[in-house]
Structure 1
């Protein structure tokens, strides 16, 4: 199997110029770019990921490229394109890899409607599968990163994908997006954490991405049934606490994090209801990361 990490840099750059087809879970992205931060980010964070043979079929054809005109030279900017569509405003050139990550998420959120999609992290260990929706500032990504670095298998940081046919969570295992203080927290938590270059002064502040663990990438084809639904919330000085959430309330809260619940109509309702029925549902408050991880290790369905 050819991986990103097995490509020498000249070959990686050549393939990106011509279109490098990267497989993440059930999807293949053909990535076109001449931007050095894109090559650097892929080499650091996607080293274990499979590269498809040239000429194969890709689900998404994406480009990260310099904008034309004066902005190519003066305060250079880059743009993301899916085919001929550009869903975002251009960003500074040194944000190119972060723009690729956001664009790849957008492709799934807007196009992958053969799955039920939630803005949530998904992890698995010993058959227990956590689905963790997160509001901004709730600490979802920090908790996700720490769990993965503690031996949990990452299925996804940003996108819970539920198979419409069997209700299983589908793995993606792409890098975990960390912001601001979370970057230093995770560096201190695990010296083994591999983080990419930080993109500063984005609309989310400073952003860096954490490499998915080898075990998470190795399990990229193994779906799992959700067993625990957690609504995490970090608060300074708070005691670690798991509080049961009534299933009716959990349904409403989870549906508010869905990308395509309304689009799927009755099927969206039935899939969400089945997910809730199969899970224990919790509010999870914490401030101390090791204490919080210990509490989650004790969850049993």
Structure 2
């Protein structure tokens, strides 16, 4: 993080942390007999495929365990550009906590986004793209946002949609092979075969979600915040970008740099165990205004 970025931030937050992983993850009774698995492997850099092999479980079983750390909420409906979606909240961490870009403070939350009408796309198509096993067993999974909430602000460490970002490799034959989820494993599949099976559905994917996935996930966050009532601001982590990421138009740059620019988000510095993390923070009213009448939340229908 550059000194100039920190010098421009007048809003500084120093939340209490304690033993965050123990308090918020390992001691969570929802984990039950999975606690030892989490304590041993959650933040271990060993590839998940190797961890699964060492643990004697399939990759799918391992990742589903790492991604399901608290009860799931009831689906909350919203719509974007006339397309119905739902968001399902989980007051727990997902496997992305291991990527080193997840400041540990506040209360963890993971927001999963689904098609409101799962029959818009074949379930086999959306499942093939979900090689992180994030769907929680529900049809029509599209993407997710994850982070923490603290004192009225949702601090997102990330937003992700594999089906939106990788659709050309998955369903339009770009390249010879591509990784896909098949059952409880991630395997290399023929790009041509996938295109033959699902290529006709790509126009529906693009006009309903792929072109607008960042806005849809913002809408999912706003729908969750409105339901809670006590979360009124959205923060987006401004982690240092690699040279490859720090190019205008790349997915990472669009989400973590260009979006805050469009929202005009001021910076807030959150200091966790002596380490500073910069967030671009905007009110959810500003987020909703940015999305305009394309977004409809519960109560607007």
Given the two structures, how large is their TM-score scaled by the length of structure 1?
Answer: 0.25
Name the one with the larger helix percent. Answer: 2
Q: Which has the higher contact order (CA 8 A, sep 6+)?
A: 2
